[in-house]
């Protein structure tokens, strides 16, 4: 079949700057004539993909099938030699990272807006990953953005659409196309990492230990079913909402106590010992059992503590540990006790990738429900869920007469390392102008040092004296690149800290995140509710930042907390904040 390459005239669109996880906008923005084509052409103009292999996949959200065909048209016209595409255009972000690495592809284009809602009136995203399987570094995304501002035309190849539902090879003009099973390679990867025999034996021999995974109608449903049901032998009742839908069933596919209430409610009602959820594209996770929510900060620290003794992949040792700057220091204490190198990096998984490629990092995490290791170069929700099952199976092998659950693992960890009380407040889709004014005011205090030495009193009777203020900058130890203005930090004399950060993961407006952390080795506080432990510090953080006044809001959109109790209810978990700060789960 003869094919024709056409060059289409176009003009630049404002605002096509990729954030930490690609370009995210409303679907209707991407549907504008030439908009998606411009950005895809800018990607191919930024890389040298002639004759190379490019992976395409995504979370299956609305507008994905059309975008896949657009990438095929433009990629083929620009000389791509081969495309590897997940069946129906679907690959979770971790699975795509694995496919890029396994088949030594040049890179990959992922169609996802991660945990953001989907559907015709919601979000879409395009993200480029490089040959190590990780997100494109800033020098690549900066080049893409520069070219979007200069573009005058794009190339396209006229060709009938590829049937994305048919596994196997085909041709697209001069390019080869391979449609692959979206799940198979990823399941094989995890089977080589974890002790599936140990997990299966534990689950089969302990029927009272119930498991429930909630896919939130995101991409991970088929992956969870393949692992929990097909491989580990659990019943189909161990999964729910595991059919991927273009609009995620009308929900918000973000695994936290607010948006994963479908999991929380069933876990509490049915006394389920182990519950878990993942997000739209599969790179985030939440671990939650009856009366026990694990913060992401605690989760990665616990995985790091147990990894070498319980997970086969780490038997030969841990290279190093790392966390994003806003994440609590819980993993730091594990690293110090084990004599491991550890790193504090800006938010964005690409910063972990450099350390992994240099052989200095094994396990890492972000407080935004992202956890992972050097098996791929993306955070990995299903990996974290199976890691917890592996740890619980190993813990119960050591405790044959008493069932060990999430609470026992948490309290044991606090006994060894102390406890980092941690909470995050998200203020979503607030005025960008107001958010910028708040950050500017904080930066002015930092520049003058005007907060240092100031003492603030809270209604709890506690007082907090500011010991240091800083704007977090990071020099990459591998490539020496510098990332500035990564978040405002206020430290207090007792070791507590508060972090403020503007997030770039939304499609409109701004998201302000406030992180509050307090460390203790007082054993009487290990079972204390986070709300109680942090109430005074949260009051002080709001006073210092004048957040309510700047943003014009009374309550956050989402609150992330940890909670341990043997007799809690859903109302306990979401309603124990003082009414001034309360945000009820819908």
Residue positions annotated with a catalytic role: 114
Nearest to 88 by CA among 103, 102, 67: 67
Q: What angle do CA 257, 259, 265 make, to 5 degrees?
A: 60
Asked if 583 and 556 count as a contact pair (C-beta separation under 8 A), the reply is: yes
Which residues are CB-contacts of 548 (< 8 A; sequence separation ≥ 6)? 542, 554
Which residues are CB-contacts of 398 (< 8 A; sequence separation ≥ 6)? none
Three-class HEC string of 100-134: HHHCCCCEEEEECCCCCCCCCCCEEEEEEECCCCC
Parallel, antiparallel, or unpaired: how do β-strands 53-58 and 107-111 relate?
parallel
Asked if 385 and 284 count as a contact pair (C-beta separation under 8 A), the reply is: no
Q: How many CA atoms lie within 13 A of 254 on its CB side?
A: 18
What is the distance between the alpha carbons of residues 5 and 70, in angstroms, rounded to a whole number?
13
Nearest to 97 by CA among 109, 79, 83: 109
Q: Report, in angstroms and rounded to the nearest whole number, the Rg of the chain calculated over CA atoms.
A: 24
Asked if 105 and 98 count as a contact pair (C-beta separation under 8 A), the reply is: no
Element housing 456 (H / E): strand 455-457
Asked if 151 and 38 count as a contact pair (C-beta separation under 8 A), the reply is: yes
Three-class HEC string of 351-365: HHHHHHHCCCCCEEE
What is the distance between the alpha carbons of residues 260 and 280, in angstroms, rounded to a whole number?
12
What is the distance between the alpha carbons of residues 401 and 410, in angstroms, rounded to a whole number?
19
What is the distance between the alpha carbons of residues 7 and 46, in angstroms, rounded to a whole number?
18
What is the phi-psi region of residue 292: left when phi exceeds 0, alpha when psi lies from -120 to 50, beta otherwise?
beta
């Amino acid at each position: 079949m003869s094919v024709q390459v056409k060059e289409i005239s176009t003009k630049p669109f404002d605002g096509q700057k990729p954030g930490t996880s690609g370009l995210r906008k409303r679907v209707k923005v991407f549907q504008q004539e030439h908009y998606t084509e411009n950005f895809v052409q800018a990607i191919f103009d930024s890389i040298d993909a002639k004759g190379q292999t490019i992976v395409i996949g995504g979370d299956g959200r609305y507008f994905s099938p059309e975008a896949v065909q657009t990438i095929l048209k433009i990629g083929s016209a620009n000389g791509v030699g081969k495309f590897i595409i997940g069946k129906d255009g679907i690959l979770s972000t971790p699975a795509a990272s694995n496919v890029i690495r396994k088949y030594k592809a040049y890179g990959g284009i992922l169609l996802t807006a991660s945990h953001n809602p989907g559907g015709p009136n919601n979000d879409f995203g395009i993200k480029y990953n490089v040959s190590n399987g990780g997100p494109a570094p800033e020098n690549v995304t900066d080049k893409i953005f520069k070219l979007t501002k200069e573009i005058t035309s794009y190339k396209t190849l006229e060709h009938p659409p590829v049937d994305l539902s048919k596994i196997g090879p085909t041709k697209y003009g001069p390019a080869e196309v391979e449609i692959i099973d979206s799940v198979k390679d990823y399941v094989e990867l995890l089977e080589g990492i974890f002790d599936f025999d140990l997990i299966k034996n534990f689950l089969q021999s302990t029927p009272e230990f119930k498991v429930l995974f909630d896919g939130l109608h995101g991409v991970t449903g088929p992956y969870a079913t393949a692992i929990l049901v097909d491989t580990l032998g659990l019943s189909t009742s161990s999964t729910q909402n595991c059919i991927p839908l273009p609009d995620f069933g009308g929900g918000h596919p973000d695994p936290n106590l607010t948006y994963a209430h479908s999991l929380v409610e069933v876990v509490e009602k049915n006394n389920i010992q182990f519950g878990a959820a993942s997000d739209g594209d599969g790179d985030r996770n939440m671990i939650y059992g009856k009366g026990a929510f694990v913060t992401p900060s605690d989760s990665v620290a616990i995985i790091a503590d147990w990894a070498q003794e319980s997970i086969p992949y780490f038997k030969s040792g841990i290279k190093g540990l790392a966390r994003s700057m806003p994440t609590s220091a819980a993993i730091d204490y594990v690293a110090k006790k084990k004599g491991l190198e550890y790193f504090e990096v800006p938010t964005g998984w690409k910063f972990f990738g450099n350390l992994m490629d240099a052989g200095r990092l094994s396990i890492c995490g972000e407080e935004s429900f992202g956890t992972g290791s050097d098996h791929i170069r993306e955070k990995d929700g299903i990996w974290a869920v199976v890691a917890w099952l592996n740890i619980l199976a190993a813990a119960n092998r050591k405790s044959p007469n008493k069932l060990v659950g999430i609470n026992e693992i948490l309290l044991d960890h606090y006994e060894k390392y102390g406890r980092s009380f941690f909470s995050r407040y998200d203020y979503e889709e607030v005025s960008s102008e107001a958010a910028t004014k708040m950050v500017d005011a904080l930066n002015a205090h930092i520049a003058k040092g005007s907060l240092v030495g100031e003492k603030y009193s809270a209604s709890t009777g506690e007082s907090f004296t500011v010991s240091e203020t800083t704007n977090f900058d990071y020099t990459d130890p591998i490539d020496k690149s510098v990332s500035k203005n990564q978040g405002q930090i206020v430290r207090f004399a007792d070791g507590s800290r508060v972090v403020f950060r503007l997030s770039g993961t939304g499609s409109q407006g701004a998201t302000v995140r406030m992180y509050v952390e307090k460390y203790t080795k007082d054993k009487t506080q290990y079972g204390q509710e986070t709300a109680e432990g942090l109430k005074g510090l949260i009051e002080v953080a709001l006073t210092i930042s004048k957040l309510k006044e700047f943003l014009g809001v009374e309550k956050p959109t989402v609150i992330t907390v940890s909670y341990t109790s043997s007799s809690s209810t859903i109302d306990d978990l979401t309603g124990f904040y003082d009414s001034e700060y309360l945000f009820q789960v819908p």
